[in-house]
Structure 1
Amino acid sequence: MILVIIRTLILFTLVVIALRLMGQRQIGQLQPYELVVIILLADLAVLPMADTGVPLISGILPIFLLLLFQVAISYTGLKSQWARGIICGTPAVLIENGKIIEEELRRNRYNLNELNEQLRAKNVPNIADVEFAILETSGDLSVIPKSQKRPLNPEDLKIPTKYEGLPITLIIDGKLQQKNLINSNIDKQWLQTELKKFGIDSFKEVLFASIDTEGKLYYQAKST
């Protein structure tokens, strides 16, 4: 029993490391060869995990080789546009200037129901309003509406805006995020003083606290 647990932990750790080295993309963003690698990794890990009669190295070695293979393919695609086209394919324009490109639909085996569904998901229900709809190599559909159908933004109205940046998390579940404090040049004493204004005497009483994009402190105390 102990042997099974140890083998399981070793193989689980190895697969997690392999997936981390492959990158942080979601399943829907994986290229076909990456999805194949993930499926094979899972199968290779299961065999020695379930059967103690199979040598552990029989699972570790193929996993390591698959990881090297995936990294080599990714590096090749990174350096060569031609290789990237062969490995990952190329984007396909399914709609151009409000007109469906039937040849591309047939070539990519993409039916009209799927096309309409994806357009609705992008808040563009009318095909006539689409300048370009591009099927990316990940399988996602990028939709570019016609210029007269795009939502207004401050630049269109010539309204000046200021830089916002990102909110900075300061406390999570009562724990102070020291690295974020240092990076944002926020003093710990200042944070304590601000929280005391709201009747909070300890960071442990805070569920979440952050500095928003306008430089204002947001907090939420833990429920009692």
Structure 2
Amino acid sequence: MNSTVRLLLSFIILWLGLRVLGKKQVGELSIYNVATIAAVGEMAASLATDLHDDPTDFIFPLLGYFLLTYLMSYLSLKSQLVRQVLEGIPTIVVSNGKILEGNLKTLRLSMDNLLIKLREEKVFDLKEVEFAIMEPDGKLSILLKPIYRTVTTGDLQLTTEYKGLPTILVREGKFEEESLKNLGITKSWLMTQLHAHNVGEVSEVFLAQLDSSGQLYIDLMTDW
């Protein structure tokens, strides 16, 4: 097999494999996606340039990497537990304006790095932050205190109310037992609320969350 054919073959396999992985920005790639891209990039280059080796020595491992990565992505989509193991979970680093040093240590994130990430989101003063959450992809999500939000409540000197993080009560058709327990909410109460929104079974609910003002947000499976 000449070098031109090998080059085209490696390009086609690499292109098809990346199409299988889906359209994601670099910052949205999971750890196993990054590992796969690094490995297949090396093998694709070897397939194109190592003319003395059998092409199948590279083709089958390439296809295997893409197949395994696709399988892990599929399992992550179907299982919350697998998703948490493979991709991690969001971690609160600032709660009610207080820095959670223990969570910073768990993330191996220094105070300087936290401040840098805040500045990247145009937040230069920690006292403005109500909540900050480190997402699995490394991005920092920030909820500002009401007076500092861009709706100009501070400029207008309007009275603002405390707004904490909403609590997920149902996720992908299943009750969040720990959340219900922490809020002192019973399943029967929640089902009554769901029935009031014309929801017959909890299995119909993709996501249900309760905010600090008692408002229940419901997203149904049928919304897909």
How many aligned positions are there? 154
Matched, 1:148 2:147: yes
Unaligned 5+ segments in structure 1 are 158-224
- Partner residue, 1:3: 2
Aligned partners of 2:43 and 2:140: how far apart in 1? 33
> Once the two structures are superposed, what CA deviation does each residue of 1:17-74 show, in whole Å capped at 9, x if it has no partner?
1112101111121111110010011111122221111111121111111111011101
> What letter matches 1:142 in structure 2?
S
SS at structure 1 position matched to 2:83 = helix
- State the one-letter code of the partner of 2:112: N
Question: For each residue in 1:165-224, what CA deviation from the matched residue of structure 2 results, as whole angstroms up to 9, or x when unmatched?
Answer: xxxxxxxxxxxxxxxxxxxxxxxxxxxxxxxxxxxxxxxxxxxxxxxxxxxxxxxxxxxx
**Structure 1: 4+ residue segments shifted above 6 A:** none
Report the counterpart of residue 124 of structure 2 in structure 1. 125
- Aligned-residue CA RMSD in angstroms? 1.8
Secondary structure (helix, strand or coil) at the match of 1:20 reads helix
1:70-85, aligned counterparts within 5 Å?
70-85=69-84
| Partner residue, 1:196 | none
Give the Cα–Cα distance (whole angstroms) in 1 for the partners of residues 101 and 82 of structure 2.
27
Q: Distance in 1 between matches of 2:23 and 2:110?
A: 30
CA displacement, residues 151-174 of structure 1 (integer Å, 9 cap, x when unaligned): 118xxx9xxxxxxxxxxxxxxxxx
| Cα separation, 1, equivalents of 2:24 and 2:65 | 18
Unmatched runs of 5 consecutive residues or more in structure 2? 157-224
Q: Aligned residues: percent identity?
A: 31
Q: Is the 8 A contact 2:47 2:59 kept in 1?
A: no
Output the amino acid matched with 2:14.
V
Task: After TM superposition, give the deviation of residue 110 of structure 1 in Å.
Answer: 0.7
Aligned to 2:138: 139
Structure 2 residue aligned with 1:55: 54
Q: Return the TM-score normalized by structure 1.
A: 0.65
2: CA distance, partners of 1:139 / 1:83: 19
Give the residue type in structure 2 aligned to 1:59. Answer: F
TM-score by length of 2: 0.65
SS of corresponding position for 2:51: coil
Q: What residue number does 1:13 align with?
A: 12
Give how far 1:94 is off: 0.7
Amino acid of the residue matched to residue 89 of structure 1? Answer: G
Shift of 1:118: 1.0
Tell me how far apart the structure 1 counterparts of residues 97 and 124 of structure 2 sit (CA, whole Å): 12
Q: Alignment partner of 2:109: what SS? A: coil
Aligned residue for 2:130, secondary structure, equals strand
AA matched with 1:90: I
Tell me the residue number matched to 1:222. none
Larger radius of gyration: 1
Deviates more, 1:54-63 or 1:69-78: 54-63
